[in-house]
Amino acid sequence: MAKTWPAGTTINSIISTIASQSGVTRLKLDPLSSRVTTDKQTNRPFVVERGDNRGEALSRLAVAKGLDIYFDTLGYLTTQDFYSAADRSVVYTYDPDANNNLLTVKASYTDDNLYNAVLVVAKKGTITYLVRDTDPTSVTSVNRLGERLFIYENEDITTLTLARQVGNRLFYQKVVVNEDITLETLCNPAFEGNDVIRVREDFSGLNGIYRIKAFTVPMSSSRQTIRLLREVNLS
121-169 tens-digit pLDDT = 988 788 999 999 888 887 778 888 889 899 999 888 888 988 988 898 8
Q: Among 31-45, 55-69, 203-217, where is mean pLDDT lowest?
A: 203-217
Amino acid symbol at 125: G
At residue 235 the predicted structure's pLDDT band, cuts being 50, 70 and 90, is: very low
d(CA 58, CA 75): 16
Average pLDDT, the chain: 85
Question: Does pLDDT of 86 surpass 60?
Answer: no
Instruction: Give me the amino acid identity at 37.
Output: T
Percent of the chain, pLDDT > 70?
90
Contacts of 130 (CB under 8 A, 6+ apart): 117, 118, 119, 120, 167
pLDDT at position 84, please? 62
Rounded distance between C-alpha atoms, residue 119 and residue 157, angstroms: 13
pTM of the predicted protein model:
0.57
Rg of the chain over all Cα atoms, to the nearest angstrom: 19
Confidence bin at 234 (pLDDT 50/70/90):
very low
Give, as one character, the DSSP assignment of residue 177.
P
Q: How far is CA 154 from CA 11, 67, 119, 189, in A?
A: 16, 15, 11, 37
pLDDT of residue 81 exceeding 70, the answer is yes
Cα gap 235→230, rounded to integer Å: 15
Q: Other CB atoms closer than 10 Å to residue 228's CB: what's the count?
A: 25
> In the chain, which residues fall in CATH 3.55.50.10?
3-81
What span, in angstroms and rounded, lies between the C-alpha atoms of 15 and 103?
40
Q: Which helix (H) or strand (E) holds 110?
A: strand 102-110
Is the domain 3-81 a CATH 3.55.50.10 member?
yes
Residue 80 pairs with which residues in a beta bridge?
A: 68
Confidence at residue 77, expressed as pLDDT on a 0 to 100 scale: 93
Q: What is the pLDDT of residue 226?
A: 93
Q: What is the pLDDT of residue 92?
A: 92
Q: What is the pLDDT of residue 231?
A: 53
Handedness of CA 181, 182, 185, 190 (dihedral sign): positive
In whole angstroms, give the CA distance from residue 62 to residue 68.
Answer: 6
**Percent of the chain beyond pLDDT 90?**
32
pLDDT on residue 89 = 81
